[in-house]
A and B are shown apart, each in its own frame.
Chain A
Amino acid sequence: MLRNEHKETLAKMRQELTLIDTRAKKISQHFQKLTREVESLKVESLQKLLEKKIKSEALRRGVASVIRDRKRLKSGALFAAGNFIIGGLLTQDKWAALNSGLSGLDGALQGFGRARWVVLLGKSIVVAASESTPLEGKWIAWESLKLAMKELRKKAQLGEALGTLDDVLSRLEQKRERGFIPIIVVTGQPKPRG
């Protein structure tokens, strides 16, 4: 009798242990996945920030370009954007007019401001258009940097810890030094933006 009770107790304890073991493993797996995703998010968010900055700069350059050269107003893209607004207003659909019109205008202006973008990874992360601004230092072509970030994101998804922002920038720099990323070295005095 006593032996049976012992057996039952031991069996119950063993079951509970198995349950704890399984749950702990499952939770570990979830957290591992979460950590990998968070690490990957670091690179992804850095890329998004840079893209946002590039878009905003492209827009600024496009507006500046239109202001400089009014003839561009008659060009196809911007004309089409203007038509979207007018079309929307005529059909009394102000909301559509505003949205489609503005997005078209936005796209057109960004198109005017299109450039070969380069990025400097350092104490400051700087985005610049390579052809218009005098640059100094080792700048990385944006398209190449995107490839490098994609590669780093894959590594993070496989479980590699990327560390701080400086660590990430350093790793991107290392890739550049190893020749994975084509670089643009520009010498000359950096020109402050007016």
Chain B
Amino acid sequence: MSENAGIGSEQVRKRFFLALSLFREVSDLEKSKETEAETVKALVKEKSVLDGQIKELEKAKSTLEGEIDNSVLSVSRKVQGIRQEAAQQIEHQVADIRRQLGDLFSDALKAGEVVGQMFEMVRKGEESQKGLETFLEEARSRLEVR
């Protein structure tokens, strides 16, 4: 038949081997395709696992963020409380010092009054002394015998 068609047996053999090799390649490709498919399948699976992990991490992240927010709020409240307490303490101290200063000023005024009275007494004493001198001089000059 081959010979009828003008094709030699050698050529037929070559064509046969070529076809065979092609077949092998196709088979290899098929195999490779399967392997790739499995790899893709594995990767898809791995991706879905990772997706799940990411979701869990995101959840953990939001939990952490919530906790951090709560913590910050708590600290902020505490700081505010401490600040208010300190402010109140300072306010009390200032009020106390102001009251004591008021008392002191009142005492100072009283002491000033006493000192003023003392100066007045000193002035009277000096006047009295001068008065005595004048009194004696005048009495001596006006005294006579009849």
Asked if B93 is at the interface (CB within 8 A of a chain A CB), the reply is yes
Asked if A49 and B139 make an inter-chain contact with CB atoms under 8 angstroms apart, the answer reads yes
Asked if B104 is at the interface (CB within 8 A of a chain A CB), the reply is yes
Asked if A35 and B142 make an inter-chain contact with CB atoms under 8 angstroms apart, the answer reads no
**Most chain A CB neighbours (cut-off 10 Å) among B111, B114, B135:** B135
Instruction: Tell whether A128 pairs with B139 under 8 Å between CB atoms, given A24-B117, A31-B125, A38-B129.
Output: no
Asked if A53 and B118 make an inter-chain contact with CB atoms under 8 angstroms apart, the answer reads no
Asked if A106 is at the interface (CB within 8 A of a chain B CB), the reply is no
**A27→B125 CA distance, assembly (Å):** 11
Interface flags for B100-130 (1: CB within 8 Å of A; 0: not) read 1100100110110011011001101100110
Asked if A24 and B131 make an inter-chain contact with CB atoms under 8 angstroms apart, the answer reads no
Which residues of chain A are near B146, meaning CB under 8 Å? 126-128, 133, 135, 190, 193
In the complex, the number of residue pairs spanning A and B with C-beta atoms less than 8 Å apart equals 110
Interface flags for A163-175 (1: CB within 8 Å of B; 0: not) read 1110010000000
Interface size class of B (residues with CB under 8 A): 20 to 34
Instruction: Tell whether A49 pairs with B140 under 8 Å between CB atoms, given A21-B114, A31-B118, A35-B124.
Output: yes
B101 to chain A, nearest CB (A): 7
Which residues of chain A are near B104, meaning CB under 8 Å? 10, 13-14, 17
- Nearest B residue to A20 via CB reads B111
Q: Which stretch from A39-47, A74-82, A88-96, A145-153 is at the chain B interface? A: A39-47
A13 to chain B, nearest CB (A): 6
Asked if A32 and B121 make an inter-chain contact with CB atoms under 8 angstroms apart, the answer reads yes
Instruction: Tell whether A28 pairs with B142 under 8 Å between CB atoms, given A17-B104, A38-B128.
Output: no
Which residues of chain A are near B138, meaning CB under 8 Å? 164-165
**Using a CB–CB distance below 8 Å, which chain B residues touch chain A?**
93, 97, 100-101, 104, 107-108, 110-111, 114-115, 117-118, 121-122, 124-125, 128-129, 131-132, 134-136, 138-140, 142-146
The 24 sampled A-B contact pairs (Cβ below 8 Å) are: A3-B97, A10-B100, A20-B115, A24-B117, A31-B121, A31-B125, A35-B121, A39-B128, A41-B132, A42-B131, A45-B135, A45-B136, A45-B139, A46-B139, A50-B143, A53-B143, A124-B144, A125-B142, A126-B145, A127-B143, A127-B146, A128-B146, A161-B128, A190-B146
